[in-house]
Each structure stands twice: as structure tokens, then as C-alpha cells.
Copies of this chain bind each other. A is one copy, B any other.
Amino acid sequence: MTTPRRAPGGFPVVGIVGGGQLARMCAGPAAELGITLSVLAEAPDAAAALVVPSAPVGEHTDLEAVRRFAAACDVVTFDHEHVPQDVLAALVADGVAVHPTPEALRHAQDKLAMRARLGALGVPCPRWVRADTAADVTAFGEAVGWPVVAKTPVGGYDGKGVRVVASAGELDDWLERAAMAGTGLLLEERVPFRRELAVLLARSPSGQAAVWPVVETVQTDGICTEVLAPAPALDPDLGSRAVAAALRVAGELGVTGVLAVELFETVDADGAPAFVVNELAMRPHNSGHWSMDGAVTGQFEQHLRAVLDLPLGSPSPHAPWTVMANVLGGDYPELYPAYRHVMARDPGVKVHLYGKGVRPGRKIGHVNVSGADLADLRERAGHAADYLRGVVTE
């Protein structure tokens, strides 16, 4: 079925472009809220297509496919940030409500645009430059010190599109590709950070915003593997400043829906806690998966409420701590027996799986555990994730 069937009573249809796990995790909240979901899916067996009745197959780059899809929806939002600006502009010209708006989304699609805008807003960022030539790279490295971090401005995710380089020569291939694409590269100083934090919030078209507690994110090989909510021993003043900066970014950029602001926690010249912004994402985000079980309003429900301009729900946590651990694909394709084991070992673990085939290193699910003892929760979440990956076997 490609036409979404609307619930009676004036309830809307939310269209999500992209059928990955983020769209999939909207399905439960949408059903609870009485809202109809429609997903433009990459394939009939995309994660979200497995759980949503209306999931036409089409490419997010195919203007006519996106247009046909959007015509049946009251608002269009996204599973990822890869929908081209010309497609978005055509939707807006068609009169479709698109959230986040193309203008806001540009800052999550193009890291150079993001850096320029955050800089103009006075939001703390690493030193950065656009590099088009090897000479640009060398000049920046000599100015801020080697190694430097190079990023493709567009299309990167989960550590892809990021390199740490000690000389311009290591970027020959990327510079060549960037020159052909006319995009340039983003170079950033390598920030010595204490840890990574994230501020997650939702903002509605009316301007209402709700912020979840600041979390600590733990990355392994560029992939988020663990989230601690809230961030342990966070300096209260740092937390306030980080939240204020995230709200300012959301407001100034006109973000609608969920915004994730990823931060490095650093130490300033006086030894005081400080931060710089690492990345922005304008959609539900891995750093907010804990909220599905750990907060009154989870990020997927909140994203739906925000893009519909409904009043936002409370982001208050249920428990002193919630720990999220990502489940990465392991060596064996039959996950079900491991899943049974994890459930038997710990009745308090919330297992979330995305309906995806197992491939080594692929994000196929996550687990959440809430409670009062952080060390215990980390052990339990980590064990469940490791067991599902096949890294531990007892």
C-alpha cells in the first residue's frame, strides 16, 4: 500500500524520507499518539519498511519520487541528512511543510556552512579552515599544529569522511575529489578533549524548545558505542553554557525537530571546564536513544511532536541514570539465540533491534538500562551489547 491510511478525528500523516532505524523507531510513538507514519524507503526490507504500513520505495535523490511521496503527507521530515537541497527546495515550492527546513538543514548537511555560522554566532568551535589545495593544508597545520582533522564537508557519518592527518600529502586523494566536486575540505585543529558530550533538544516551528539532560558519549573507532545520561560529574556551569549554546543554535538556525549538538569537553587556559562544538545533527540521534526508556518523552515521540508543531513533552528522566550501549553486528547472522540469552540474564535490560541483517560493525540495535548505580548499569548494558555482538559468550 502506498497511500497512508489516516486515523479519523483530524490526525495528521508524517512522512519520513529514509527508512533506516531512526524512521523505524518513530513507529511505536506514532502508533501511540494516533499519528500515521509514511516512510519513503530505500528498499522493501528497509528497517522502517518492516514496521510501517505505508512505505513506498524510492530514492531520496529522485525528485519525482520524493514529490509523490510528500503529496500524501501533512509534514515531511528525515531519517538522514542526505536529501539534496534542490529536492528540498522543490518540496517547499510545492507547499509541503518540511521540517527541519532546508535552510536550517543546510547547516547539518554542509560542515563548512555549519562552522561559518557557528563562528558568526560566537559559539565555541575548534579553529578551522576551508582547504582546497595542499598549500592550504600545510599552512593550517603549521598554524595550529599537526596532526589536524580533515573532514569531507558533505555526506560523512559514523567516522566516515573524517581523517586525522600529519601532513598535506596524506590528503592528496581527498583534495583531488573535493576539487572535482567543488566542495573543498574542512580542516579543524585536533582538540585535546577530556571527553565527548552531547546536548539533545527538540524545537517546534512555534519556537517551543525542550532539552534533555546533557549526556556523555563514548566513541570507539568513530562510532558511538555508549551513552551515559546524564553526563557524570558534569560541571553545572559548563552544562548550563552548553545548553544555552545549543538553544541559541536551534533558535538562530531555525531548527525544527530534534537537534543534537555534539561537544568536546575541554579545559580552558585557566584550567576551567570548557567546550567546543564538534558536530550538529538535525534529526533523532544516537546520543538520544537512552530517552526511549529513560525519559518521560523519548526523542522519537518528541521529534514527531516537534515537526507537527504539537506542544512538546517533558524531557525529564525516569531514573538517576540511564546507560545506552549500541549493538554492533558481530560474526554470526542468527541473532535470536543471543537475544534470548541477554533477556534471560537481565530482565531489566531493554533490547532494541532494528530488523537489519548482521554485518560486522553495523549498528543493528541498542540496549538501555536505567537505575541508581552507574557502574552496575554500564556493566549490564555493555555485557548485553557485547553478548549480542558475540564478543563475550557467557
Chain A interfacial positions (CB closer than 8 Å to B): 1, 5, 7-12, 24-25, 27-34, 36, 44-45, 49-53, 55, 210, 292-293, 296-297, 305, 310-314, 316, 318-319, 333-337, 339-340, 343-344, 347-348, 350-358, 365, 370
Contacts and interface: CB of A to CB of B under 8 A. Distances in A.
Given A28-B32, A34-B335, 12 more contacts: A5-B49, A8-B356, A8-B357, A9-B333, A9-B357, A9-B358, A11-B353, A25-B31, A27-B31, A311-B343, A311-B344, A311-B347
Contact of A27 (B8, B10, B27, B297): B27
Nearest to A365: B34
Contacts of A12: 336
A213 to B, nearest CB: 15
A343 B53 contact: no
Contacts of A318: 318-319, 370
A122 B51 CA distance: 45
- Central interface residue in A10, A36, A44, A365, by most chain B CB within 10 Å: A10
A10 B53 contact: no
Q: Among A7, A25, A305, A356, which residue has the most Cβ atoms of chain B within 10 A?
A: A7
Nearest to A26: B31
Contacts of A9: 333-336, 353, 357-358
Contact of A340 (B25, B310, B370): B310
A229 to B, nearest CB: 15
A319 B50 CA distance: 33
A51 B53 contact: yes
Contacts of A5: 44-45, 49-50
A1 B344 CA distance: 34
A335 B53 contact: no
Contacts of A356: 7-8
Given A32-B28, A34-B365, A53-B53, A340 B311 contact: yes
6 contacts: A9-B353, A11-B355, A28-B28, A31-B355, A32-B292, A312-B343
B313 A343 contact: yes
Nearest to A24: B31
B333 A50 contact: no
Between A297, A351, A365, the greatest number of chain B beta carbons within 10 A of the residue's beta carbon is seen for A351
A357 B24 CA distance: 26
Contacts of A44: 5
A347 B313 contact: yes
A298 to B, nearest CB: 10
A54 to B, nearest CB: 9
Contacts of A340: 310-311
Contacts of A297: 347
Given A55-B53, A343-B310, A296 B350 contact: yes
A50 B50 contact: no
Nearest to A355: B7
Contacts of A333: 8-9
A218 to B, nearest CB: 23
Contacts of A45: 5
A367 B29 CA distance: 14
Contacts of A29: 28
Contacts of A11: 335-336, 353, 355
A389 B42 CA distance: 41
